[in-house]
Chain A
Amino acid sequence: MNQHLYSFLISFTLFIFLLDRRKIHINIYGGIIGAVYQLIQNLIAHYLNLWKYNNVSLFLPNSALFSETINIFTVGYAFTMGCLFLQFLPRNIYLQLFHTLLWGLFYYLSRYIMHKFSVITYIHFSVHFSMNILTFLFSLVWFNNTFLRCYKPKDI
């Protein structure tokens, strides 16, 4: 089984089961931004030779979408998880902190598992650096609070 396809299918199944259809018109921006972020990150990693994905096109037709440069599967689960991240994001700012730290930890664990099973090879990067997802997640929360949900600030 192709591991990238497998993880994408799992994330997509979760997405179908947990999706709130009434709020998707807002939360889809989280998915789009997440997918764009992941795609840019993959392109940068390829350009600077930071890491490479293995077995992306295993048992699949030879296409640019399944190449390690684009890797449509990581972009795919970034989209589904981006939507779910914003959907379950609480309003309270302390809970937002907790929620984001937890999701960051899950992302780190997923990267760690990929690293352990040699699905990803870190060349000029470290698996521990993938904690940098936290800065992205916090800026996504900022975007949600400021542009999508338009929370009224008390004193800012």
Chain B
Amino acid sequence: MQIILNGWIYSFIVCWIVFFLLVDLKTLKKNIWAGIVCSLLEFIQDAFAPWFDMFYVKKGVIYLLGTSAFFTFGVAFTMGILIMQFLPSNRYLQLVHILSFSVGFVFFEFLLVKYGLLVEVHWDYKISIFGNVIIMGAIAWLKQFVYKYEPKSI
């Protein structure tokens, strides 16, 4: 029971349940690239952040350098796939989608800080909305890339 109550494992389980409920298996082989890219970006950032005294992951159970494996293969991977899957085709809705996912992620980071799973020294969850918007924008481009987006007019 104690292991389930660990925040990282809990977020891992919740994310995979949400993922299995919402995933579209037909486009999964394309959208999985977003999951891979998100995991990779998250890993690079969080694994080396403790080296520079930016922030520390606590109660990680299984650590991959500085980050918790339950985060890299949980939230980052599954939500990356869902972000790309649900990116709308209307460009203004794309903007709304990016902003809402960024705000959602800041709220998640706020919970991590509040419950002591993340200790931020030279970092601030309020500021990470800036980085989130930029990463979601890059995923929106990645969708254009993996869906072989071919421009017709300039």
Contacts and interface: CB of A to CB of B under 8 A. Distances in A.
A13 interface: no
Interface string A92-136: 010011000000000000000000000000101110010010111
B121 to A, nearest CB: 8
B50 to A, nearest CB: 11
Nearest to A146: B91
A122 B142 CA distance: 30
Given A48-B122, A126-B52, A145-B149, A156 B144 contact: yes
B151 A124 contact: no
B89 A151 contact: no
A155 B27 CA distance: 12
Contacts of A25: none
Contact of B51 (A126, A140, A143, A149): A126
B52 A91 contact: no
Contacts of B153: 150-152
Interface size of B as a range: 35 or more
A85 to B, nearest CB: 14
A11 to B, nearest CB: 22
A61 interface: no
Contact of A93 (B124, B138, B148): B148
Interface in A31-84: 37, 40, 44, 47-50
B51 A139 contact: no
A140 to B, nearest CB: 8
B interface secondary structure, majority: helix
A142 interface: yes
Interface size of A as a range: 35 or more
A153 B152 CA distance: 8
A139 B122 contact: no
A143 B133 CA distance: 12
B89 A156 contact: yes
A97 B130 CA distance: 23
A138 B137 contact: yes
Interface of A: 37, 40, 44, 47-50, 91, 93, 96-97, 122, 124-126, 129, 132, 134-136, 138-143, 145-147, 149-156
Q: Lowest 4 A-B CB distances belong to which pairs?
A: A139-B137, A151-B151, A138-B138, A142-B141
Given A48-B123, A50-B54, A126-B51, 15 more contacts: A93-B148, A93-B151, A124-B122, A126-B52, A135-B41, A136-B134, A136-B138, A138-B141, A139-B135, A141-B141, A142-B140, A146-B140, A151-B149, A154-B147, A156-B147
27 contacts: A37-B134, A44-B130, A48-B123, A91-B151, A91-B154, A93-B144, A93-B150, A125-B52, A132-B131, A135-B41, A135-B135, A135-B138, A136-B138, A138-B142, A139-B134, A139-B136, A139-B137, A142-B137, A145-B144, A149-B151, A152-B152, A152-B153, A153-B144, A153-B149, A156-B143, A156-B147, A156-B149
